[in-house]
Amino acid sequence: MKPIVEYNDYRAYMADFYEERKRISAFTWREFARMAGFTSPSYLKLVCDGKSSLSRVTMNRVAVAMGLVGYEIEYFEAMVNFGNAQKDGAKKAYLDQMVAISAANKVRVIDEDAFEYYESWKNQVIRELAPMMPGATLGEVVKTCCQKVSAPEVRKSLKFLEKAGFLKRTGENVYEQTDKAVTGSKEALPLAIRMMHREMGQLGIQSIDEFSPQERNVSGVTLGVNQEGYEEIVRELDACRKKVISIAARCGKLDQVYRLNLQFFPLSKKVKAKVEE
C-alpha cells in the first residue's frame, strides 16, 4: 500500500487499507467498524462510498484502527478536514497543513507541485517569459513583467519551475519549456485551478485601467439563454480556446506573454415558468 502522504482523499486511503487487509486475511467491513468502535457494521463502507463522512470526533478512532502513528495520524486528520471542508479557503488551509506535516517528516505531498504552480500568476508568466529571454538577469525579467514582482520572487519561481520539471535549464540563465503538464488529484487540482482563476480574474479587471484598448481586448454581452443554449455556447467557447492555443503555437519568435480569460457566468437565477390556469 502506498504511503499515506501519496493520498489527499481520505476515502481512497481507507478503501485501499480495507482492500489490502482483505487481500491478506478474512477482513470484513464489520471487523473494520468494530476495530474503530462503531456499532454499525456498514458505516465505514458508506464513508468510503462517499455516502457519509468521518467527523472530527471519529477520525482519530479510524486512524488508530488502521495502525497509523505519529505524523501519520496528524496527516490523516488533516486529510479528513480537507475532504470535508466546503469553502476553498478552508480546503487550502488544510492542504497547507498536510504539506507542512509531510515537509517536517521529509516526505512530499503528491499535489504540492500543482498547488505551488497555480498559487501565483508569477509561475505561469515566468514559465512563458524565461525561454523568451535567454541570458536575461533577474532584474531584466523583473522589468519585463507588467505586474509587481521582485528579483527574489523570480529566482524562487525559476527554481521551482526547474525542480518541478516545467522548465529545463540549458545554459547560464537560459531555459526551455518542457512538455510536462500540471497534474493532480480530482480533489486538489480543481481547487488549485479555482484559486488561479480568481487571481487571473483580478488581473483582468486591473488590465482595464492599466493598458490602452490597443494593448488589451475586453468585451462582453449580456443575453438570455436556456440550458440547451448554455451548453452550445460552452462548446463554442471550448472550440475558440483551442483555436487560440493553435494560433499561439504557430507563432514564430515570441516576444510577449498574454492571458486569455473566457468568462460566461449567470447574472440571475433561473426563472420558473408560470403554470397557466
Q: For 13-52, write each residue's pLDDT tens digit.
A: 999 999 999 988 889 999 999 999 999 999 999 999 999 9
| Residue 179: predicted pLDDT | 79
Q: Would the pLDDT of 161 be above 70?
A: yes
Query: Cα-Cα-Cα-Cα dihedral of 169, 175, 176, 180, to 10°?
Result: 60
**Close Cβ partners of 141 (under 8 Å, ≥ 6 residues apart):** 126, 129, 130, 133, 154
Region 197-212 average pLDDT: 92
| Residue 119: predicted pLDDT | 81
111-212 is a CATH 1.10.10 domain: yes
Q: In the beta sheet, which residues pair with residue 177?
A: 167
Q: Would the pLDDT of 78 be above 70?
A: yes
Class of domain 4-110: mainly alpha
Q: Would you tell me how many other CB atoms lie within 10 Å of the CB of residue 257?
A: 15
Q: What is the mean pLDDT of the chain?
A: 89
pTM check: above 0.75: no
Rounded to a whole number of angstroms, the CA Rg of the chain reads 24
What residue ranges do the domains of the chain occupy? 4-110, 111-212
Q: Which SS3 state, helix, strand or coil, does residue 5 take?
A: helix
| Residue 159: predicted pLDDT | 94
